[in-house]
Protein backbone atom coordinates (compact mmCIF):
# COMPACT_ATOMS: atom_id res chain seq x y z
CA UNK A 1 0.00 0.00 0.00
CA UNK A 2 1.29 3.46 -0.94
CA UNK A 3 0.61 6.16 1.62
CA UNK A 4 0.12 9.85 1.02
CA UNK A 5 2.77 11.43 3.23
CA UNK A 6 0.69 14.51 4.09
CA UNK A 7 -2.30 12.58 5.50
CA UNK A 8 -2.20 10.78 8.88
CA UNK A 9 -1.32 7.12 8.34
CA UNK A 10 -3.97 5.88 10.81
CA UNK A 11 -6.61 7.72 8.75
CA UNK A 12 -5.40 6.11 5.52
CA UNK A 13 -5.45 2.68 7.15
CA UNK A 14 -9.07 3.26 8.21
CA UNK A 15 -10.00 4.20 4.64
CA UNK A 16 -8.18 1.10 3.38
CA UNK A 17 -10.18 -1.16 5.73
CA UNK A 18 -13.45 0.63 4.83
CA UNK A 19 -12.73 -0.11 1.16
CA UNK A 20 -11.84 -3.74 1.84
CA UNK A 21 -15.21 -4.12 3.59
CA UNK A 22 -17.24 -2.28 0.94
CA UNK A 23 -15.77 -4.31 -1.94
CA UNK A 24 -16.23 -7.52 0.13
CA UNK A 25 -12.53 -8.40 0.40
CA UNK A 26 -13.50 -8.46 4.06
CA UNK A 27 -16.96 -9.90 4.71
CA UNK A 28 -19.20 -9.45 7.75
CA UNK A 29 -17.87 -11.66 10.55
CA UNK A 30 -14.38 -12.02 9.00
CA UNK A 31 -11.39 -11.94 11.34
CA UNK A 32 -8.74 -9.29 10.70
CA UNK A 33 -5.05 -10.25 10.70
CA UNK A 34 -3.22 -9.72 14.02
CA UNK A 35 -2.02 -6.20 14.75
CA UNK A 36 1.66 -7.00 14.22
CA UNK A 37 0.89 -8.83 10.98
CA UNK A 38 -1.05 -5.80 9.69
CA UNK A 39 1.86 -3.56 10.70
CA UNK A 40 4.23 -5.75 8.67
CA UNK A 41 1.89 -6.05 5.68
CA UNK A 42 1.51 -2.26 5.49
CA UNK A 43 5.06 -1.50 6.80
CA UNK A 44 3.86 0.87 9.49
CA UNK A 45 4.17 1.20 13.24
CA UNK A 46 2.14 -1.14 15.49
CA UNK A 47 0.86 1.90 17.43
CA UNK A 48 -0.55 3.38 14.22
CA UNK A 49 -2.43 0.16 13.44
CA UNK A 50 -3.75 0.06 17.00
CA UNK A 51 -5.04 3.61 16.73
CA UNK A 52 -6.82 2.86 13.44
CA UNK A 53 -8.35 -0.34 14.80
CA UNK A 54 -9.49 1.21 18.06
CA UNK A 55 -11.29 3.96 16.14
CA UNK A 56 -12.94 1.34 13.91
CA UNK A 57 -14.03 -0.51 17.05
CA UNK A 58 -15.45 2.73 18.50
CA UNK A 59 -17.37 3.27 15.26
CA UNK A 60 -18.80 -0.24 15.50
CA UNK A 61 -17.30 -1.27 12.15
CA UNK A 62 -15.09 -3.80 13.93
CA UNK A 63 -15.86 -5.88 16.98
CA UNK A 64 -13.10 -6.84 19.35
CA UNK A 65 -13.52 -10.26 20.94
CA UNK A 66 -11.32 -10.76 23.97
CA UNK A 67 -8.43 -13.08 23.25
CA UNK A 68 -9.77 -13.89 19.79
CA UNK A 69 -9.04 -10.79 17.75
CA UNK A 70 -10.92 -8.21 15.71
CA UNK A 71 -13.86 -9.09 13.48
CA UNK A 72 -15.87 -7.19 10.86
CA UNK A 73 -19.28 -6.37 12.30
CA UNK A 74 -22.29 -8.35 11.14
CA UNK A 75 -24.61 -5.44 11.87
CA UNK A 76 -26.20 -4.65 8.47
CA UNK A 77 -27.24 -1.13 9.49
CA UNK A 78 -23.68 -0.15 10.42
CA UNK A 79 -22.30 -1.60 7.17
CA UNK A 80 -24.92 0.20 5.08
CA UNK A 81 -24.19 3.49 6.83
CA UNK A 82 -20.48 2.91 6.34
CA UNK A 83 -20.92 2.56 2.59
CA UNK A 84 -23.02 5.73 2.49
CA UNK A 85 -20.47 7.62 4.55
CA UNK A 86 -17.52 6.61 2.36
CA UNK A 87 -19.39 7.54 -0.83
CA UNK A 88 -20.46 10.83 0.72
CA UNK A 89 -16.87 11.70 1.66
CA UNK A 90 -15.78 11.23 -1.96
CA UNK A 91 -18.70 13.28 -3.28
CA UNK A 92 -17.94 16.00 -0.77
CA UNK A 93 -14.46 16.50 -2.26
CA UNK A 94 -15.88 16.78 -5.77
CA UNK A 95 -18.70 19.08 -4.64
CA UNK A 96 -16.34 21.40 -2.77
CA UNK A 97 -13.98 21.67 -5.73
CA UNK A 98 -16.80 22.35 -8.19
CA UNK A 99 -18.40 24.88 -5.83
CA UNK A 100 -15.02 26.61 -5.68
CA UNK A 101 -15.21 26.88 -9.45
CA UNK A 102 -18.62 28.54 -8.94
CA UNK A 103 -20.70 25.84 -10.62
CA UNK A 104 -24.40 25.83 -9.72
CA UNK A 105 -25.92 22.56 -8.46
CA UNK A 106 -27.63 22.11 -11.86
CA UNK A 107 -24.33 22.64 -13.68
CA UNK A 108 -22.68 20.12 -11.37
CA UNK A 109 -25.28 17.46 -12.21
CA UNK A 110 -24.91 18.11 -15.95
CA UNK A 111 -21.11 18.05 -15.70
CA UNK A 112 -21.21 14.78 -13.77
CA UNK A 113 -23.65 13.18 -16.21
CA UNK A 114 -21.51 14.25 -19.18
CA UNK A 115 -18.40 12.95 -17.49
CA UNK A 116 -20.00 9.56 -16.76
CA UNK A 117 -21.17 9.31 -20.37
CA UNK A 118 -17.65 10.14 -21.58
CA UNK A 119 -16.11 7.49 -19.30
CA UNK A 120 -18.59 4.91 -20.60
CA UNK A 121 -17.55 5.74 -24.17
CA UNK A 122 -13.86 5.56 -23.24
CA UNK A 123 -14.36 2.13 -21.75
CA UNK A 124 -16.13 0.89 -24.87
CA UNK A 125 -13.31 1.98 -27.19
CA UNK B 1 2.67 7.73 28.26
CA UNK B 2 5.49 6.49 30.48
CA UNK B 3 8.89 7.99 29.78
CA UNK B 4 11.70 5.55 29.20
CA UNK B 5 14.55 7.98 28.61
CA UNK B 6 15.16 11.34 30.28
CA UNK B 7 18.05 13.70 29.57
CA UNK B 8 18.28 16.75 31.83
CA UNK B 9 20.55 19.64 31.09
CA UNK B 10 23.12 17.53 29.28
CA UNK B 11 26.22 19.30 28.02
CA UNK B 12 29.14 17.64 26.28
CA UNK B 13 32.35 19.27 25.06
CA UNK B 14 35.16 17.76 23.08
CA UNK B 15 38.42 19.61 22.40
CA UNK B 16 36.82 22.77 23.85
CA UNK B 17 34.07 22.55 21.27
CA UNK B 18 30.45 22.26 22.49
CA UNK B 19 28.82 19.23 20.82
CA UNK B 20 25.66 19.06 22.98
CA UNK B 21 24.47 22.18 24.77
CA UNK B 22 22.17 22.00 27.83
CA UNK B 23 19.98 19.45 26.12
CA UNK B 24 16.68 18.27 27.59
CA UNK B 25 14.80 15.36 26.08
CA UNK B 26 12.25 12.75 27.12
CA UNK B 27 11.46 9.63 25.11
CA UNK B 28 8.34 7.56 25.88
CA UNK B 29 8.38 3.78 26.02
CA UNK B 30 6.97 1.71 23.15
CA UNK B 31 7.70 4.35 20.52
CA UNK B 32 9.69 4.52 17.30
CA UNK B 33 11.30 7.95 17.24
CA UNK B 34 13.11 9.56 14.33
CA UNK B 35 16.18 11.64 15.24
CA UNK B 36 16.65 14.24 12.53
CA UNK B 37 19.30 16.87 11.96
CA UNK B 38 21.99 17.96 9.53
CA UNK B 39 25.49 16.51 9.58
CA UNK B 40 27.27 17.75 12.67
CA UNK B 41 24.04 18.53 14.54
CA UNK B 42 25.06 15.99 17.18
CA UNK B 43 22.86 12.98 16.34
CA UNK B 44 25.57 10.34 16.72
CA UNK B 45 26.96 12.03 19.83
CA UNK B 46 23.49 12.10 21.40
CA UNK B 47 23.09 8.36 20.77
CA UNK B 48 26.57 7.66 22.18
CA UNK B 49 25.73 9.71 25.27
CA UNK B 50 22.47 7.84 25.87
CA UNK B 51 24.09 4.45 25.24
CA UNK B 52 26.69 5.05 27.96
CA UNK B 53 29.93 5.06 25.95
CA UNK B 54 30.83 8.72 26.54
CA UNK B 55 32.77 9.22 29.79
CA UNK B 56 32.72 12.97 30.43
CA UNK B 57 29.48 14.91 30.19
CA UNK B 58 27.49 17.22 32.45
CA UNK B 59 23.85 16.71 33.42
CA UNK B 60 21.86 13.52 33.95
CA UNK B 61 20.86 10.76 31.56
CA UNK B 62 18.42 8.09 32.67
CA UNK B 63 17.02 5.00 30.91
CA UNK B 64 14.36 3.50 33.16
CA UNK B 65 16.18 3.27 36.47
CA UNK B 66 19.66 3.15 34.89
CA UNK B 67 21.64 6.35 35.35
CA UNK B 68 25.35 5.44 35.26
CA UNK B 69 27.17 4.74 31.98
CA UNK B 70 27.71 1.12 33.02
CA UNK B 71 24.04 0.61 33.88
CA UNK B 72 22.84 2.24 30.66
CA UNK B 73 25.09 0.02 28.52
CA UNK B 74 23.16 -2.93 29.98
CA UNK B 75 19.71 -1.68 28.96
CA UNK B 76 20.40 -0.01 25.60
CA UNK B 77 21.44 -1.72 22.37
CA UNK B 78 23.44 0.63 20.14
CA UNK B 79 24.11 0.01 16.45
CA UNK B 80 27.83 0.75 16.84
CA UNK B 81 27.97 -2.71 18.41
CA UNK B 82 30.38 -4.09 15.78
CA UNK B 83 33.05 -1.48 16.50
CA UNK B 84 36.10 -3.39 17.67
CA UNK B 85 34.96 -6.77 16.32
CA UNK B 86 37.70 -8.64 14.42
CA UNK B 87 37.03 -8.07 10.70
CA UNK B 88 37.86 -11.68 9.82
CA UNK B 89 35.36 -13.07 12.35
CA UNK B 90 32.48 -15.15 10.99
CA UNK B 91 28.94 -13.96 11.73
CA UNK B 92 28.23 -16.93 14.01
CA UNK B 93 31.44 -16.17 15.94
CA UNK B 94 30.30 -12.56 16.34
CA UNK B 95 26.98 -13.79 17.71
CA UNK B 96 28.73 -16.07 20.19
CA UNK B 97 31.01 -13.22 21.24
CA UNK B 98 28.00 -10.91 21.81
CA UNK B 99 26.29 -13.71 23.72
CA UNK B 100 29.14 -13.83 26.23
CA UNK B 101 29.24 -10.02 26.43
CA UNK B 102 25.52 -9.36 26.90
CA UNK B 103 23.28 -11.52 29.08
CA UNK B 104 20.25 -10.25 27.10
CA UNK B 105 21.64 -11.42 23.72
CA UNK B 106 19.53 -14.03 21.92
CA UNK B 107 21.40 -16.25 19.46
CA UNK B 108 18.02 -17.63 18.41
CA UNK B 109 16.74 -14.16 17.42
CA UNK B 110 20.04 -13.40 15.68
CA UNK B 111 19.82 -16.58 13.60
CA UNK B 112 16.19 -15.92 12.69
CA UNK B 113 16.97 -12.38 11.57
CA UNK B 114 19.97 -13.28 9.43
CA UNK B 115 18.03 -16.17 7.86
CA UNK B 116 15.12 -13.85 7.04
CA UNK B 117 17.59 -11.45 5.40
CA UNK B 118 19.39 -14.21 3.43
CA UNK B 119 22.68 -13.80 5.26
CA UNK B 120 24.99 -16.77 5.64
CA UNK B 121 26.33 -17.18 9.20
CA UNK B 122 29.56 -18.78 8.00
CA UNK B 123 30.55 -15.63 6.08
CA UNK B 124 33.26 -13.34 7.39
CA UNK B 125 32.37 -9.79 8.40
CA UNK B 126 35.13 -8.39 6.17
CA UNK B 127 33.73 -10.22 3.12
CA UNK B 128 30.27 -8.63 3.37
CA UNK B 129 29.00 -6.01 0.94
CA UNK B 130 27.86 -2.72 2.44
CA UNK B 131 24.21 -3.82 2.34
CA UNK B 132 24.97 -7.15 3.99
CA UNK B 133 27.09 -5.47 6.63
CA UNK B 134 24.10 -3.24 7.47
CA UNK B 135 21.92 -6.35 7.75
CA UNK B 136 24.44 -7.87 10.13
CA UNK B 137 24.60 -4.69 12.25
CA UNK B 138 20.82 -4.64 12.54
CA UNK B 139 20.65 -8.36 13.38
CA UNK B 140 23.24 -8.05 16.16
CA UNK B 141 21.64 -4.87 17.55
CA UNK B 142 18.10 -6.30 17.56
CA UNK B 143 19.23 -9.69 18.92
CA UNK B 144 19.79 -8.01 22.26
CA UNK B 145 16.43 -8.10 24.05
CA UNK B 146 16.39 -4.69 25.73
CA UNK B 147 14.08 -1.74 26.33
CA UNK B 148 15.96 0.76 24.15
CA UNK B 149 17.51 0.49 20.68
CA UNK B 150 19.68 3.25 19.26
CA UNK B 151 20.03 2.90 15.50
CA UNK B 152 22.45 5.37 13.93
CA UNK B 153 21.87 5.65 10.17
CA UNK B 154 21.03 1.94 9.84
CA UNK B 155 20.02 2.30 6.18
CA UNK B 156 22.93 4.47 5.04
CA UNK B 157 23.89 3.77 1.44
CA UNK B 158 21.71 0.72 0.85
CA UNK B 159 19.14 0.13 -1.88
CA UNK B 160 15.42 0.64 -1.32
CA UNK B 161 14.52 -3.08 -1.50
CA UNK B 162 17.00 -3.97 1.25
CA UNK B 163 15.89 -0.98 3.28
CA UNK B 164 12.32 -2.20 3.18
CA UNK B 165 13.38 -5.64 4.40
CA UNK B 166 15.43 -4.11 7.23
CA UNK B 167 12.45 -1.98 8.28
CA UNK B 168 10.26 -5.10 8.36
CA UNK B 169 12.85 -6.90 10.53
CA UNK B 170 12.80 -3.94 12.86
CA UNK B 171 9.00 -4.03 13.13
CA UNK B 172 9.06 -7.80 13.62
CA UNK B 173 11.72 -7.95 16.30
CA UNK B 174 11.07 -4.82 18.35
CA UNK B 175 9.99 -6.20 21.75
CA UNK B 176 6.61 -4.92 22.99
CA UNK B 177 7.15 -1.74 25.03
CA UNK B 178 10.70 -1.22 23.71
CA UNK B 179 11.61 2.14 22.18
CA UNK B 180 13.68 2.64 19.05
CA UNK B 181 15.54 5.89 18.41
CA UNK B 182 16.60 5.94 14.78
CA UNK B 183 18.49 8.51 12.72
CA UNK B 184 18.34 8.68 8.95
CA UNK B 185 19.45 11.20 6.35
CA UNK B 186 16.44 10.43 4.22
CA UNK B 187 13.44 11.21 6.38
CA UNK B 188 10.96 9.94 3.82
CA UNK B 189 12.43 6.43 4.05
CA UNK B 190 11.31 5.97 7.64
CA UNK B 191 8.47 8.52 7.94
CA UNK B 192 5.71 5.87 7.86
CA UNK B 193 6.99 3.95 10.85
CA UNK B 194 7.62 6.87 13.21
CA UNK B 195 5.57 7.78 16.27
CA UNK B 196 7.56 10.96 16.86
CA UNK B 197 10.27 13.10 15.39
CA UNK B 198 13.01 14.82 17.36
CA UNK B 199 14.92 17.53 15.50
CA UNK B 200 18.43 18.49 16.56
CA UNK B 201 20.01 21.77 15.55
CA UNK B 202 22.77 23.90 17.05
CA UNK B 203 23.54 21.19 19.64
CA UNK B 204 19.96 21.34 21.01
CA UNK B 205 16.54 19.78 20.51
CA UNK B 206 14.56 22.40 18.56
CA UNK B 207 11.41 20.33 18.04
CA UNK B 208 9.77 17.15 19.28
CA UNK B 209 6.41 16.27 17.82
CA UNK B 210 4.08 13.39 17.04
CA UNK B 211 4.39 12.28 13.40
CA UNK B 212 0.63 11.89 12.93
CA UNK B 213 0.03 15.33 14.43
CA UNK B 214 2.39 16.90 11.91
CA UNK B 215 0.28 15.37 9.14
CA UNK B 216 -3.08 16.01 10.79
CA UNK B 217 -2.66 19.49 12.28
CA UNK B 218 0.00 21.02 10.04
CA UNK B 219 -1.06 19.14 6.90
CA UNK B 220 2.62 18.56 6.13
CA UNK B 221 4.76 15.57 5.29
CA UNK B 222 7.43 14.83 7.91
CA UNK B 223 10.05 15.82 5.37
CA UNK B 224 8.51 19.24 4.67
CA UNK B 225 7.98 19.88 8.38
CA UNK B 226 11.62 19.05 9.05
CA UNK B 227 12.84 21.32 6.24
CA UNK B 228 10.58 24.18 7.41
CA UNK B 229 11.81 23.91 11.00
CA UNK B 230 15.42 23.69 9.92
CA UNK B 231 15.26 26.67 7.63
CA UNK B 232 12.97 28.62 9.95
CA UNK B 233 15.62 28.92 12.67
CA UNK B 234 15.82 27.88 16.30
CA UNK B 235 12.94 29.99 17.58
CA UNK B 236 10.44 28.68 15.08
CA UNK B 237 9.07 25.92 17.27
CA UNK B 238 10.01 25.37 20.84
CA UNK B 239 6.71 23.63 21.52
CA UNK B 240 6.52 20.13 22.88
CA UNK B 241 2.76 19.94 22.62
CA UNK B 242 0.70 16.91 23.45
CA UNK B 243 3.52 14.56 24.23
How many contacts (CB atoms, under 8 Å) link A and B?
Answer: 52
Instruction: Give the pLDDT of residue B239.
Output: 47
Domain with A109, as residue range(s), is 77-123
- pLDDT at A125 (0 to 100): 66
Q: What is the mean pLDDT of chain A?
A: 95
Q: B65 CA to chain A: closest CA distance, Å?
A: 24
- Which chain B residues are within 8 Å of A3, Cβ to Cβ? 192
Task: Give me chain B's average pLDDT, please.
Answer: 91
Please tell me the total count of domains within chain A.
2
Q: Is residue A58 situated within a structural domain? A: yes
A43 vs B219: CB contact, 8 Å cut-off? no
Residue A3: inside a domain: no
Please indicate whether, in this complex, the C-beta atoms of B171 and A40 are within 8 angstroms of each other. Answer: yes
Instruction: Flag whether pLDDT at A10 surpasses 60.
Output: yes
Do both A63 and A15 map to the same domain? yes
Helix axes A46-58, A9-22, angle to 10 degrees: 50
Which residues lie below 8 Å from residue B43, measured CB to CB, with a gap of 6+? B35, B36, B37, B152, B183, B200
Q: Looking at residues B173-196, what average pLDDT do you find?
A: 93
Asked if residue A91 and residue A50 are part of one domain, the reply reads no
A20-55 tens-digit pLDDT = 999 999 999 999 999 999 999 999 999 999 999 999
Give yes or no: residues A16 and A31 share one domain. Answer: yes
For B107-163, write each residue's pLDDT tens digit. Answer: 999 999 999 999 999 999 999 998 899 999 999 999 999 999 999 999 987 888 899
Q: Does B156 touch chain A (CB under 8 A)?
A: no
What value of ipTM does the predicted structure carry? 0.85
Is A1 part of a structural domain of the chain?
no
The residue in chain B having the minimum alpha-carbon distance to the alpha carbon of residue A45 is B193
Sorting pLDDT into bands at 50, 70 and 90, what band is A12? Answer: very high
Binary contact (B193, A45; C-beta < 8 A): yes
CB contact under 8 A, B215 and A43: no
In order of B21, B84, B97, B196, B204, the CA distances from B42 in angstroms are 10, 22, 30, 18, 8
Residue A100 shares a structural domain with residue A57: no
Instruction: Answer whether A6 sits within 8 Å of B188, measured CB to CB.
Output: no
Q: Identify which of B30, B192, B223 has the shortest CB distance to residue A44.
A: B192
Pick from A7, A39, A43: CB nearest B215: A7
Answer for the pair B8, B59: CB distance below 8 angstroms, yes or no: yes
Q: Which of A65-74, A92-101, B89-98, B157-166 has the lowest mean pLDDT?
A: B157-166
Predicted pLDDT of residue B233: 54
A36 in the same domain as A85? no
In this model, does residue B16 exceed pLDDT 60? yes
pLDDT at B85: 85
Instruction: Pick B194's closest partner by Cβ from A6, A45, A46.
Output: A45
The reply to whether residue B212 touches residue A48, judged by beta carbons under 8 angstroms, is yes
Q: Is the dihedral of CA B73, B8, B37, B226 positive or negative?
A: positive
At residue B236, the pLDDT reads 42
Whether residue A88 lies inside any domain: the answer is yes
The CATH number linked to A46 is: 1.10.10.10
Domain co-membership, A92 together with A68: no
Amino acid sequence: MEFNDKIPIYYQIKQYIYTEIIISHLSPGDKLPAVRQLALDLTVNVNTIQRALSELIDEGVLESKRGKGNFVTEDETILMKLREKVIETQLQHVYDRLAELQLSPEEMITALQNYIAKRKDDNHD
Amino acid sequence: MTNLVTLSNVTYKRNLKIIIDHLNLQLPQNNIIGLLGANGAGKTTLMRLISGVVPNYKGTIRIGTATTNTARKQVASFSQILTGVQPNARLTEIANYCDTLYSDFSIDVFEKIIASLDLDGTEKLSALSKGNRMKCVLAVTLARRVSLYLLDEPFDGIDSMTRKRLIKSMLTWKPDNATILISDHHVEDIANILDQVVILKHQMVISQKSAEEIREKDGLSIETYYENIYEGGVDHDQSHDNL
